[in-house]
Amino acid sequence: MIKTTIETKDFFENAKKDLLISEERKDLLFKIADKIIEELEDRDKINLNFICTHNSRRSQLAQVWSFFAAEYFNLDNIYSFSGGTETTAFHRNTVKCLQKTDFDFNVDDFSHQNPQYLISFKGSKKTIKGFSKTFDNEINQYPYIALTTCDHADENCPFIPDAIERFHLPYIDPKVADNTENQNAKYLKTSKHIAGEIFTIFEEVKNQINNQ
């Protein structure tokens, strides 16, 4: 049988190994890690809220990889959420992309417009609920660190009332490749880049905890 999926752990580790980013970008990732550590010193847990305009692609990828990273690095007191400035749907191409890296999507609440999924991975201790929603949806626990993953969301959310801190962490939208022969490759490339940066953040958090 030809294997059509990539093990989540292998994809995650390779994403970090192959990550190429500028020193400025690396500094930003370390600043996010520093803020997480700072908040963990005062709280039992910390919430991350990844925010993009439609909450359909980049913010969902970031939330799911953060969910995986928390278990990978045994950081069970970091919780990940996502939201948008408007509600659309967890885009089917994003779902397919994550399924290619062995994430499991079970429909929890069916809707043609905006289905809700319970997302897990092999060996995961828990699930997260994935669907498109606004960043202030009641499912998104607060207070949280806000991370805007697209320029439009950053520009159109000048004030996020429940945010402890706010960082702008933009990614190129893979939707530019929708309905083209490069669609699958583009989504996987975006997912890999996001996974590599999430790995960097969580690895730094883990290292700082171990060194305390």
The reported pLDDT for the residue numbered 146 is 97
Whether the pLDDT of residue 194 is over 80: the answer is yes
Q: Is residue 135 within 8 Å of 160, Cβ to Cβ?
A: yes
- Annotate the chain with three-state secondary structure: CCCCCCCHHHHHHHHHHCCCCCHHHHHHHHHHHHHHHHHHCCCCCEEEEEECCCCCCHHHHHHHHHHHHHHHCCCCCEEEEEEECCCCCCCHHHHHHHHHCCEEEEEEECCCCCCEEEEEECCCCCCEEECCCECCCCCCCCCEEEEECCHHHHHHCCCCCCEEEEEECCCCCHHHHCCCCCHHHHHHHHHHHHHHHHHHHHHHHHHHHHCC
- CATH number of the 22-207 domain: 3.40.50.2300
User: Quick one: residue 74, left, alpha or beta (phi over 0 = left, psi -120 to 50 = alpha)?
Assistant: left
Q: How far apart are CA 104 and CA 196, in angstroms?
A: 20
> For residue range 61-102, what is the model confidence (pLDDT) as tens digits?
999 999 999 999 999 999 999 999 999 999 999 999 999 999
The reported pLDDT for the residue numbered 2 is 44
> For residue range 18-76, what is the model confidence (pLDDT) as tens digits?
999 999 999 999 999 999 999 999 998 999 999 999 999 999 999 999 999 999 999 99
User: What share of the chain in percent tops pLDDT 90?
Assistant: 86
Structure-token pair, residue 205: 């958090």
Whether the pLDDT of residue 1 is over 50: the answer is no
The reported pLDDT for the residue numbered 161 is 81
Whether the pLDDT of residue 211 is over 60: the answer is yes
Ramachandran angles phi, psi of 210, nearest 5°: -65, -25
Cis? peptide before 161, omega within 30° of 0: no
